[in-house]
Amino acid sequence: MAENSPFTRIVMTAKVRDILDAAQPWPTIRAITSEDIPWLANAAFESYPRRGLHRDWDATVAVTQEIFRGEWGPYMQVASPAALSEDGEILGGVTTVLRLAREDAPDHPYVLNCLTLPDHRGRGVASGLLAATARAVAAVGETQVSLTVDEDNADARRLYDRLGFAEVSRGPSAA
Ligand SMILES: CC(C)(COP(=O)(O)OP(=O)(O)OC[C@H]1O[C@@H](n2cnc3c(N)ncnc32)[C@H](O)[C@@H]1OP(=O)(O)O)[C@@H](O)C(=O)NCCC(=O)NCCS
Residue 125 belongs to a domain: yes
Contact present, 100 and 110 (Cβ < 8 Å): yes
Residue 64 lies in a domain: no
CATH number at residue 167: 3.40.630.30
Number of domains in the chain: 1
Which residues, judged by CB distance below 6 Å to any ligand atom, belong to the binding site of ligand 1?
Answer: 47-48, 92, 114-116, 121-127, 149, 153, 155-156, 158-159, 162
Q: What is the mean pLDDT of the chain?
A: 96
In a domain, 69, yes or no: no
Q: What is the pLDDT of residues 64-121, one digit of tens each?
A: 999 999 999 999 999 999 999 999 999 999 999 999 999 999 999 999 999 999 999 9
Q: What is the pTM of this model?
A: 0.96
Cα 134 to averaged position of ligand 1 atoms, centre (Å): 17
For 115, the domain range is: 8-32+74-172
Within a domain: 56: no
CA dist 144 and 130 (Å) reads 12
Would 43 be classed as within a structural domain?
Answer: no
